[in-house]
A and B are shown apart, each in its own frame.
Chain A
Amino acid sequence: MPIYEGIGAITEKLVVVMDIGTAYTKLGFSGEFSPRYILRSEVRCKETGIMRNIRDYKNERDLYDLLVDFLHVLYFKYVLLSPKDRPVVIVESLLCPTVFRETLAKVLFCHYEISMMLVVPSHLVCLASLGIDTALVLDMGFSEAVAIPVCHGLPVIHAWQALPFASQAVHLNLKSMLTTSNTGISNLTEWDLEDIKVRCCFVTPRERSKEFGKPCPSLTVCPDVKYPIQGSRSITIPGKIRETAFEVFFEEDNDHQCMSTMILDAILKVNLDLRLQLAENIVLMGGTVMTPGLKSRLKEELYEQLKNERYSKLKIKVFKFHSPPCKDNYTAWLGGAIYGCTELLGMKGLSRENYLKENRLPDWANMRDNLRTL
């Protein structure tokens, strides 16, 4: 430990809280009310010099190298702390691939030698900032939307619903629509598309979207936007695209699944007694939720779906939504930060000794850690 790290470092441990998302990583310290940094989850490849997303790994070793580089940037450019012998709180989705979480643990414990790691499920901890323990949580991130009901502080995993309806789906839709209306813009990057999406697009109300579905819609579309690209060029984003880019969320696919059915299906899979309570405690989180108009549209869609026959046995009359005391894209991180500043870290965290004994991370999907439920 460098001598420059004064007495303060001895009295209180700084706990780094990170939520490594597919597109953005939320990074900060426990006990604070917002992450210090929201960064793209990508790192520059040393050989080619191209930015690579850490989820685009080829194999486990490739992922290990990517995470070593990525965490190095996080620690020495942003957190500005030596990772060694410090605890870390990781907020992760319950559906995080095993290879990713295991490799992350390996990098943190073996390469960066952190003293302790507490892994908290994002769907559960996001309720911490609300002070409730029962809710239906829908997380709309970059690659997929995942709905998991949480009942009395326990995520009901068997009721999980996941669909690839999130940012990425919008980007693909937007790209295909833009290439049909503009010529020669095939080289739009993911970040260009995101910027167009964020600054120009919104979710239109249900009646307008229905009207768009007709052969000749009788409505005035919203004004077009001239969007500058690469300094000298510009493309026109027609009003129709601005309004309909998000329609993928609400169009039922071949299995009759869409965003609204996800929520209702998740409710259907839960015990009868809890259904009403879940419908009256819906929490939406993830960056995609921040799109203007999305929440009101989802509400409309939910009521519309209730009229459907397959949900006739649901006795739900009203849906209620929570509004967490933060921005939607870091709700889960905030939960992790609240958990991280309690004694829970010492009680439930995985210490380095224990990790090195077994060389694996406890996991809900593993029977060894989940014997209690048998």
Chain B
Amino acid sequence: MSYIVQPDVVKYACTCGILKPISNLYFCRHCLEIRCSFCVCHEADSHYCGKCAENLPSSEARLKKNRCGNCFDCPSCHQQLTTRAANVGPKNGEDTKATPRKVFYLLCLLCRWSSRDVGIPDQSAVSGGWPERENVYANRLQEIQDMYKGIVLSDKQQKLEKDKKKQRRYMSFTDRTGITASMLRKRVGLPDVPHPLLKSKPKEPTKAIATEDVEPFLEDLLTQPVNLSLITTMEQRLVQPELQPTTVDKLFPIHKHLSVKRSQRCRSCEHNVSKPEYNPNSIKFKIQLFAYYHIPEVRLITVEPLRAGKVSELLIKFINPTQHQTTVTILPYKVQDDLTLEECKSEIAQQPEEKQSIPVASSQPSSLIHSSLSRQPSITIKPRSVTVPIAASIEVPNNTFILPPRDDAAEYDDSGDTHNIQDDPKLVVWRKSNKAVIRLKIIPESDSKIGDEVVVGFIMQHVYVNTITTVDNKEPQKYEHKIKVFLKLGGLVGNE
């Protein structure tokens, strides 16, 4: 499919104003709008390892720092490492008849880096306990971090204490009689309670001590010849930010980074437009509201050579992907239309307008504590205006045409058309099952030059049958949905 839609000849305008081919668009069935990856809310769904296809719950992925516990990447070329087995015979002095042991090491099949190169001992188990490296400064940093936490916490407490003191309006009787609470405690024989402010005084961090000497200049640099194959590249260093090894003998295998499956959510109605299945092996979706399955697809068949100011014929094919018959009307597109963007859908007769009101995002307060339980409504971003230089006008046909529903069986049926549709022969050139080719007349603008790219735009209005049933509405509803479509027709070949 991608190669049919790949050269982005036909683009649809998303609700947010970005032009994309139909394969990159979603169609939210709940608010009947086109959405694209820019204007939906992306969410991380499930974590999995791309090599062993194991999926991890997000809490476990977090513990493992988003890395797979068993798979490794090559620190030298960042490809996957494979575990290799080797037989080790009995060592000298041991019983020579003992069976050879199996040991395992890691090997990169691309650059031949192996864990033996850097002196990592071979392991006796396949998945086995490869040594992990630790940050040498971990203790000191932990200490500092705890201290900063303490300082800020006591700051916060002091502030709270201050607020509390302000609120206290009544007088304590013990203060009047000259017996303070602490005196009373002493008299009764209870231990004194230390002052809350004094108690929570945090430990001051031990300050780092600056020294006069810095890393000395290494005289070796001047005399030793450089062997580039022993010095790591920037990529190799930055893959391990903690260690940043400068020489290849300090490269250590890297745990493979996890990948994530994403789900997309419409920002205005909070429904999912795409949700993958949890299992990383499955490429299917639980929810897939792709525009490709709901919106008639437009394909460019052919166009006559374009000459400025002259009429050229344009043949385009419409394909109805839905299970319902639809009627397509072509409306003219003007650039100014964007500024006064009207509602692009309208319900057809039968039902009075009843749209659920979309909650206004900013009106609801968010709190850090509960927001992980309940979703905050999204902020709707103001759509951009479509900015495409239209360099040709279209003679808009007066008639509409019908696209029959999609029928998978008809794809293999060569017997011909079974539909009896009365078409305007000037408009519809060819028709088969759910497809129709129509003829349009376009006139490139007379002031454009040879070689200029000609783009035409029109508004496609089609009838969309919404099969989602709500409580008070069991019947599928029909809507008229409008989409702006833009076709790149290629360069101008001649003048008048």
Tell me the smallest distance from the CB of A320 to a CB of chain B, in Å: 4
A195 proximity list for chain B (CB < 8 A): 233-234
B149 proximity list for chain A (CB < 8 A): 341-343
Q: Does B214 contact A (CB under 8 A)?
A: yes
Q: Does A33 contact B (CB under 8 A)?
A: yes
Do B366 and A280 touch across chains, with their CB atoms under 8 A apart?
Answer: no
Q: Does A94 contact B (CB under 8 A)?
A: no
Q: Does B211 contact A (CB under 8 A)?
A: yes
The residue of chain A having its C-beta at the shortest distance from the C-beta of B151 within the complex is A342
Do A84 and B376 touch across chains, with their CB atoms under 8 A apart?
Answer: yes
Bound form: Cα–Cα A194–B237 in Å: 13
Q: Does A111 contact B (CB under 8 A)?
A: yes
Do B58 and A129 touch across chains, with their CB atoms under 8 A apart?
Answer: no
A208 proximity list for chain B (CB < 8 A): 222
Q: Does B57 contact A (CB under 8 A)?
A: yes
Q: Does A338 contact B (CB under 8 A)?
A: yes
Do A131 and B221 touch across chains, with their CB atoms under 8 A apart?
Answer: no
* Interface-facing stretch out of A210-218, A222-230, A249-257, A363-371: A222-230
Tell me the smallest distance from the CB of B373 to a CB of chain A, in Å: 7
A26 proximity list for chain B (CB < 8 A): 241
Tell me the smallest distance from the CB of A266 to a CB of chain B, in Å: 16
* Interface-facing stretch out of A3-11, A140-148, A168-176: A3-11
Known: A80-B66, A343-B152. A356 touches B145 (CB 8 A): no
The residue of chain B having its C-beta at the shortest distance from the C-beta of A196 within the complex is B228
Do A87 and B221 touch across chains, with their CB atoms under 8 A apart?
Answer: no
Bound form: Cα–Cα A223–B260 in Å: 48
Tell me the smallest distance from the CB of A41 to a CB of chain B, in Å: 12
The residue of chain B having its C-beta at the shortest distance from the C-beta of A279 within the complex is B210
Bound form: Cα–Cα A202–B142 in Å: 34
Known: A4-B46, A199-B228. A68 touches B38 (CB 8 A): yes
A203 proximity list for chain B (CB < 8 A): 217
Tell me the smallest distance from the CB of B155 to a CB of chain A, in Å: 8
CB < 8 Å neighbour of B58 from A6, A36, A115: A6
Bound form: Cα–Cα A132–B244 in Å: 26
Bound form: Cα–Cα A38–B237 in Å: 9
Do A351 and B366 touch across chains, with their CB atoms under 8 A apart?
Answer: yes
Do B141 and A325 touch across chains, with their CB atoms under 8 A apart?
Answer: yes
Do A131 and B262 touch across chains, with their CB atoms under 8 A apart?
Answer: no
Do A84 and B43 touch across chains, with their CB atoms under 8 A apart?
Answer: yes
B362 proximity list for chain A (CB < 8 A): 353, 356
Of residues 29 through 62 on chain B, the ones whose CB sits less than 8 Å from some CB of chain A are 38, 41-47, 57-59, 61-62
Interface readout for A87-115 with B: 1 if CB under 8 Å, 0 if not? 10000000000000000000001110101
CB < 8 Å neighbour of A343 from B156, B216, B238, B365: B156
Bound form: Cα–Cα A13–B42 in Å: 19
B225 proximity list for chain A (CB < 8 A): 223, 225
Known: A87-B368, A194-B234. A225 touches B228 (CB 8 A): yes
State the interface size on chain A (CB cutoff 8 A): 100
Of residues 66 through 95 on chain A, the ones whose CB sits less than 8 Å from some CB of chain B are 68, 72, 75-82, 84-85, 87
Interface readout for A297-340 with B: 1 if CB under 8 Å, 0 if not? 11100000000000000000011111111110110001000110
Bound form: Cα–Cα A356–B226 in Å: 56
Do B371 and A85 touch across chains, with their CB atoms under 8 A apart?
Answer: yes
Q: Does A163 contact B (CB under 8 A)?
A: no
Bound form: Cα–Cα A299–B41 in Å: 52
Of residues 145 through 176 on chain B, the ones whose CB sits less than 8 Å from some CB of chain A are 145, 147-149, 151-153, 155-156
The residue of chain B having its C-beta at the shortest distance from the C-beta of A283 within the complex is B210
Do A80 and B47 touch across chains, with their CB atoms under 8 A apart?
Answer: yes
Bound form: Cα–Cα A39–B205 in Å: 32
A-B contact pairs, 12 of them (CB 8 A): A2-B45, A8-B62, A39-B238, A76-B44, A76-B262, A80-B260, A85-B371, A85-B375, A111-B381, A194-B234, A195-B234, A327-B244
User: Which A residues are within 8 Å of any B CB, using their own CB?
Assistant: 1-2, 4-10, 13-14, 24, 26, 28, 31, 33-39, 68, 72, 75-82, 84-85, 87, 109-111, 113, 115-116, 128-132, 191, 194-195, 198-200, 202-205, 208, 220, 222-223, 225-228, 243, 280-282, 292-293, 295-299, 318-327, 329-330, 334, 338-339, 341-344, 346-347, 351-353, 356
A-B CB proximity, top 4 nearest? A131-B205, A325-B137, A8-B59, A320-B210
Q: Known contacts A4-B57, A84-B378, A204-B217; can you find 9 more A-B pairs with CB under 8 A? A: A6-B57, A9-B372, A36-B65, A76-B262, A82-B44, A85-B372, A194-B234, A321-B210, A343-B155
